[in-house]
Copies of this chain bind each other. A is one copy, B any other.
């Protein structure tokens, strides 16, 4: 099989190194990492199983290799290449470029033991950051949502040691109901609801976790929470129950949509019917969102070695939002919480 990648994570998966200006070309058993002079020294040290080629015009180098090896067909993912890249790669070569969606995601969907170890460590470090940030929050009454959203990153990144897998969400009360809320200047007060959704990267592998918590005397992000409002407590207990049902009921061999349904049914059978407005989860690996996507329409069969989030939620616009999210790996036919 011949194929070409440009996406940083797709390239990293192939050879253990990546940078923001590279074409990775696989031609049968041979592979080429084509990059510019800024990266060749590092690439030569770290790339495994591919020849590093330094070039000023990367696309010209690809065309040369295609011609020299008389390549007939090369697969590519049309998401990874701009029209400009594509024109440069295909100009004047006889090779047929065959679009293959999700080329890298499909190869990455079953995680190796080594990948699972990296993801586990990422999840562990992320969970520790939730705990240290919770201790900081205990002493943070009166600080604004915006300042706290910013401070969260210090704990998550351990002062820059780890990259974040996405811009964390720190939302109070009704802001927790908005998927894209910009943090406000509203001060954190006793009695508030806090939704915190964050993740880090360890050796490039992402983690992702959400907790919803009551800001009272004894604050923590643990799953047992006591809200003053009966309505919120009811919603919280349902989300927790929905998450447990999906984790306990998920089996290898099920379709993704059947796992989604395990959680969705519990919310839709309650007075909060219709308030779980997004999908149950998504795969996590080198990308924070990758296959498998766990939603109400996806017939993909779930298999051992897949890693994904389980994150049901209830959102009442103008009032509150609740979400609980953990990552699982399928092992021996069941979902094991990471």
Interface residues on chain A, number (Cβ under 8 Å): 27
Residues in B neighbouring A81, C-beta threshold 8 A:
82-83
Give Cα distance in the complex from A102 to B85, angstroms: 14
User: When A and B form their complex, which 9 residue pairs have the shortest distance between CB atoms, in order from nearest?
Assistant: A150-B160, A78-B83, A78-B84, A79-B84, A150-B159, A81-B83, A83-B86, A79-B82, A147-B159
Please name the residue on chain B nearest to A42 by beta carbon: B180
Q: Check if A191 is an interface residue, CB within 8 A of chain B.
A: no
Residues of B close to A117: CB separation below 8 A: none
Q: With the chains together, A160 CA to B147 CA distance in Å?
A: 7
| Nearest chain B residue, comparing its CB with the CB of A79 | B84
Interface string of A20-39 (1 = CB under 8 A from B): 00000000000000000011
Interface centre among A76, A82, A87, A183 (most CB of B within 10 A): A82
Nearest-Cβ distance from residue A274 to partner chain B, whole angstroms: 15
In the bound assembly, the distance between CA atoms of A270 and B141 in angstroms comes to 60
CB distance from A46 to the nearest CB of B (A): 12
- Closest Cβ of chain B to A33, distance in Å, is 16
Least CB distance from A98 to B in Å reads 12
Task: Type the 1/0 row for A135-171, where 1 means its CB is closer than 8 Å to any CB of B.
Answer: 0000000000011011101000101110000000000
Q: What is the minimal beta-carbon distance from A185 to any residue of chain B, in angstroms?
A: 10
Apart from A78-B83, A149-B160, 8 more pairs, CB < 8 Å: A38-B180, A39-B180, A81-B83, A82-B82, A150-B157, A150-B159, A150-B160, A160-B183
- Minimum C-beta distance from A20 to chain B (A): 10
Docked complex: A96-146 residues within 8 A CB-CB of B: 99, 101, 146
Interface: A179 (CB within 8 A): yes
- What are 30 pairs between A and B in contact, CB < 8 Å? A38-B179, A38-B180, A39-B180, A76-B83, A78-B82, A78-B83, A78-B84, A79-B82, A79-B83, A80-B82, A81-B82, A81-B83, A82-B82, A82-B83, A83-B83, A83-B86, A83-B99, A84-B101, A87-B99, A146-B160, A146-B161, A147-B159, A147-B160, A149-B160, A150-B157, A150-B159, A150-B160, A151-B159, A153-B160, A160-B183
Interface residues of A in 277-326 (CB under 8 A from B): none
Set of chain B residues within 8 Å of A86, measured between Cβ atoms = 83
Closest CB in chain B relative to A45 CB, distance in Å: 13
List of B residues within 8 angstroms of A84 by Cβ: 78-79, 101
